[in-house]
Every structure is written in structure tokens, then in C-alpha cells.
Amino acid sequence: MNTPASPPSPYSAALSSSKIESHTLSVLVDNEPGVLARVVGLFSGRGYNIESLTVAEVAHAEHLSRITIATSGAPETIDQIHHQLERLVPVHQVTDLTTSARSLERELAMVKVRGRGENRADALQLAEAFRARIIDATTESFIFELSGKPGKIDEFVDLMRPIGLVEVSRTGVAAISRGPEPI
């Protein structure tokens, strides 16, 4: 007999007790009008989280796009998201890269930092440590380009904040599985 401690609602008690996990889902879709709206609408309509979302055409001749979604939720919720995505008519394949295979995740960010004197030197030093490239510079600013796991970018941005962070633009996560086989 299951007797969970004070469920939030009598209806939602059974499946929502587990802890929250972050997962990256790779969704291969027909590149047709509205397909992104369908995927995003599924998330908003059913109350799922989107932490980041990346989409681009990956096979021009076959009209295929890959949507990479970083999401979070209880394992049962992630499972639901997976199967709800599979149900969409233009979806070819859904892969949970977090559970299915060893995968690589990368994100690109452009970070604008403003400052003079000591701050400028600090920024340059940190950029070197993070292997960030300078893609624009003025006498009082830099724009750094860096790529890596989302956590690395978070860390870099946090370090730049006291130095003179102006703004950040990030691409969201792109992911792929390791080894010779496709996802």
C-alpha cells in the first residue's frame, strides 16, 4: 500500500513524488511550417519546462530539422514528454540523450563586457582561461565568444558580472551522441 506524505492534490499524488532531473531531448522533425509551434505548444499546453531550445535544418534535401530541447522534471514527466513528442505527426524520432547514450552537449555564447584598467586585464585573463575568443573590441569593451557545456558558460558569465558584464546572447544547447553511430 502506498501512503505518500501529504500529496499536493489528491489527483496528482501518484506519479509526481520523484525528484527533478534535467534531460536533453533530441527531436528529429520534418521541416514543415508550424512544426516548431507544435513542439513548443506541446510544452506550454501540458505544463512542461523548456530550459533551452535549439532548432536548425540538418538535412536540406530531406527537409529534416533537429530540435534539441533541454528540459527538467520528474523521471515520469520526462518519459511523458518523450512519448507526447513522438505522438506529433511530423516527428521522426525522439531521443533522450541524457539516458540513452553517452552524448556531447555544447552551447555557444557571446558575452559583452565593458570596463577599463584593471577590469579589462582581468577580463582578458579569465577569457584566456576559458578559451573564449575576442570577436569585437573597443577601448572600453570586449565581446567574447565561447562554447562549451551550459555550466561552463554560466560560470564564465558569473565571473564577468562584477567585472562589467553588459549582456549575453546564447544559442541554447546542441547535442549529439558519441561514437560512430547516429543518434
Partner 1 sequence: MSKEMTGAEMVVEALKDQGVDTIFGYPGGAVLPIYDVLFHQEKILHVLVRHEQGAAHAAEGYARSSGKVGVLLVTSGPGATNTITGLTDALMDSIPLVCITGQVPTHLIGSDAFQECDTVGITRHCTKHNYLVKNVADLPRILHEAFYVASTGRPGPVVIDIPKDVQFSRGFYTPPAGVAHKTYHPKLDADLSAIQAAVEMMAQAKRPIFYTGGGVINSGPAASTLLRELVALTGFPITSTLMGLGAYPASGANWLGMLGMHGTFEANNAMHDCDLMIAVGSRFDDRITGRLDAFSPGSKKIHIDIDRSSINKNVKVDLPIVGDCGHVLEALVRVWRAEAKHADQPSLDAWWDEINQWRAKKSLAYRASSKTIKPQYAVQRLYALTQNKDVYITTEVGQHQMWAAQHYHFDEPNRWMTSGGLGTMGYGLPAAIGAQLAHPKALVIDIAGEASILMNIQEMSTAIQYRLPVKIFILNNEYMGMVRQWQELLHGGRYSHSYSEALPDFVKLAEAFGAKGIRCSDPALLDAAIEEMINYDGPVIFDCLVDKVENCFPMIPSGKAHNDMLLADLSDDAGLELGSIIDEKGKMLV
Segment 2-21, which members bind partner 1 (CB under 8 A)?
A: 2-4, 7, 9-15
Cell readout for 170 is: 546564447
Position 161 contacts partner 1 (CB under 8 A): no
With CB under 8 A as the contact rule, the residue among 56, 59, 76, 161 that binds partner 1 is: 76
Q: In the chain, at which residue ranges do the beta strands (DSSP E only) sit?
A: 21-30, 52-59, 64-73, 91-96, 103-114, 133-138, 141-148, 165-170, 174-177
Q: How far apart are the C-alpha atoms of 75 and 72, rounded to whole Å? A: 9
Residue 84 within binding range of partner 1, rule CB under 8 A: yes
Among positions 21, 51, 79, 122, the unique one binding partner 1 when judged by CB under 8 A: 79
Residue 45 interacts with partner 1 (CB under 8 A): yes or no: yes
Q: Which stretch binds partner 1 (CB under 8 A): 37-45, 50-58, 136-144, 155-163?
A: 37-45
Q: If you search the block for the grid coordinates 521541416, which residue do you land on?
A: 31
Question: Does 86 sit near partner 1 (CB under 8 A)?
Answer: yes
Q: Which residues, in sequence order, are CB contacts of 176 under 8 Å at separation 6+?
A: 26, 97, 103, 104, 183
Task: Determine if 61 is a binding residue for partner 1 (CB under 8 A).
Answer: no
Q: Under a CB-based contact definition with an 8 Å cutoff, are residues 157 and 121 in contact? A: no
Q: How far apart are CA 154 and CA 110, in angstroms?
A: 12
Shortest Å, Cβ 92 to partner 1: 5
Residues of the shown chain interacting with partner 1 in the complex, contacts defined by CB under 8 A: 1-4, 7, 9-15, 30, 33-34, 37-38, 41, 45, 76, 79-80, 83-84, 86-87, 89-92
